[in-house]
Chains A and B, each alone.
Chain A
Amino acid sequence: EVQLVESGGGLVQPGRSLKLSCAASGFTFSNYYMAWVRQAPKKGLEWVATISTSGSRTYYPDSVKGRFTISRDNAKSSLYLQMNSLKSEDTATYYCARVSYSSYIYDWGQGVMVTVSS
Chain B
Amino acid sequence: DIVLTQSPALAVSLEQRATISCKTSQNVDNYGISYMHWYQQKPGQQPKLLIYEGSNLASGIPARFSGSGSGTDFTLTIDPVEADDIATYYCQQSKDYPRTFGGGTKLELK
Contacts and interface: CB of A to CB of B under 8 A. Distances in A.
Contact of A104 (B92, B97, B102, B104): B92
B101 A104 contact: no
Interface in A75-116: 95, 100, 102-106, 108-111
Report the contact-size class of chain B (Cβ under 8 Å from the partner). 20 to 34
Interface string B18-50: 000000000000000101010101000011110
B91 to A, nearest CB: 10
Contact of A47 (B35, B99, B104): B99
A104 B53 CA distance: 8
Nearest to B35: A102
B94 A104 contact: yes
A108 B101 CA distance: 15
A60 interface: yes
A104 B90 CA distance: 12
A47 B39 contact: no
A50 B47 contact: no
A68 to B, nearest CB: 12
B49 A59 contact: no
A61 B1 contact: yes
B102 A106 contact: no
A41 interface: no
Nearest to B36: A104
B27 to A, nearest CB: 16
B52 A44 contact: no
Nearest to A107: B49
